[in-house]
Structures are given as C-alpha cells and as structure tokens.
Amino acid sequence: MDCFAIVLAMTLMITFETTSLSFHKKRKTMKEMFHDIMDENEDIIAVLKPNTRKFRWAVGIALFFSIVFLNAIVALMVWSIYTDGGITDIWTVWLTTIIAGGVSLLVMIIVILLASLAFHKRYYAFSNKRILIRSGVIGVDFKVLEYKLLGAMTVNVNVIDKILGGKTGAIRFGSASSPIMGFRGAHAAMNAFAFTHVEKPYELLRAIKKAIGKEEEK
C-alpha cells in the first residue's frame, strides 16, 4: 500500500510540475518575477530556479520514511490490541490497516500538491545590491537581504546531492538578525535566506561574492 501511494503521489507531483512550469514560462520571464520589488538603479544579475530533480528526491525520500514510520506505528498498535484480546476479528485488523493506508495516501497527495505549489512560486535572484527570494504557496512573498547586512555565507552538499552527482546543493546567507545556525534541524528548514536545491552551488557562491565585491567598491 505504501509503495503504491508513493508512486501515485510522485506521478501526480511530476504531472503538476510539468503543467505549472509551462504556465509560468508563458506568463512571465524569470527576471519579471522580481519586477515588483526592484529598487532604482538595481540590476538583476541572475535568476535561479531550484533543481527539479533534487526537489523531487528530497520530497519523495522525506515522505517515504515519514509514511512508512507512521503506518508501522499504527500497525503495531492495532496488532498489540488484537493480541491482547481487544480486537477479536482479524478482518477488523486488516480494515484498520487499509484505512490507515488510505489516510496516508490522502495526506501524501495534499503534501505533494502544496510542495509543488511552493516549488513553482520559488525563485532565487541576486542583483548588484542584494539577495532576493521569491516564495509562497497561494500568494507570493519576497525576502531580501542587502549585501551590507550580509554577515556569512555557507555551502552544503548533502547525501542526496552526492547521489545525484554532486552538482546541486544549498547556499545559506546569515545576518545579525538571521544568523546561520547549521544545516540540519528546524532552524535550517525555516532559514529565511537560503538558496536550496540550486545547481553548481560553488560557482554560484563565487558569482555572488563577485557582485558583493563590486558593490563594496562603490
């Protein structure tokens, strides 16, 4: 049941991504995504999109282990009640397990759809003045970090990146109000200034440093 649910959910995610990405390309160019928050004399140097393949893997692996773990707990609880005499009908055990699997499938589909919506709203950019992040699920949010406030930058290439060839990774940006606390845990997931699932992170970091250097020379 878990394997079927995961395959179905991932198929829905891929289909949704393909349709949504085509729509975004027709509606706006990548630079136009940041037009509403551009300052005077500000020029976008580059706009980036998270790597689709890395995103699928990250979401898929997280969902797989979460659903398997939760269903295992449900199955153990039901079996424990059955063996203790609380449930006398074996069919009740199977029915409860199937219901739990169905609920898991529904949750997975909802999570996949929300993640896909968030993925297609997310763009990264850096200009001659600052770091810009476009995100959201239903609406659109923008986060910016001025170069003069930037205190640290770190690059992380994790296990999934290595499995996929080592050409993707994450760049995190720290400031006094939003310091870098590490790559793992809840803080890392909620980090306001991070380019996640980007291609060629080290080359990208060098390009950003070059833009910062030019800004500091002014």
Residue 156 has pLDDT above 50, yes or no: yes
Per-residue pLDDT reduced to its tens digit, 181-212 = 554 444 444 556 889 899 999 999 999 999 99
Q: Which residue has the tokens 């500000």?
A: 42
How many domains does the chain contain in total?
1
pLDDT above 70 for 179: no
* C-alpha 58 chain-centroid distance: 7
Task: Note the pTM of the prediction, 2 decimals.
Answer: 0.72
Cβ(8)–Cβ(1) below 8 Å? no
What is the CA angle 148-183-56, rounded to 5?
110
3-class DSSP assignment, residue 85:
coil
Which segments within the chain are labelled E, that is strand? 44-48, 123-127, 130-135, 141-146, 152-156, 168-174, 194-199
Residue 3 confidence (pLDDT) above 60: no
Domain range for 125 is 2-217
Render pLDDT for 39-50 as a digit per residue (tens, 0 to 9): 888 889 999 999
**Residues whose CB is less than 8 angstroms from the CB of residue 86 and which lie 6 or more positions away in sequence, other chains included:** none
pLDDT digits (tens, 9 = 90+) for 40-76: 888 899 999 999 888 888 888 877 877 777 777 777 7
Query: Residue 19: what pLDDT?
Result: 42
15-48, pLDDT tens digit by residue? 444 444 443 444 457 777 888 888 888 889 999 9
Q: What are phi and psi of 175, to 5 degrees?
A: -140, 180
pLDDT digits (tens, 9 = 90+) for 89-144: 667 667 777 777 777 778 778 888 888 888 888 999 999 999 999 988 888 889 99
Rounded CA separation 4/140 (Å):
33
What order of strands is seen across the sheet that includes strand 168-174? 152-156, 168-174, 194-199
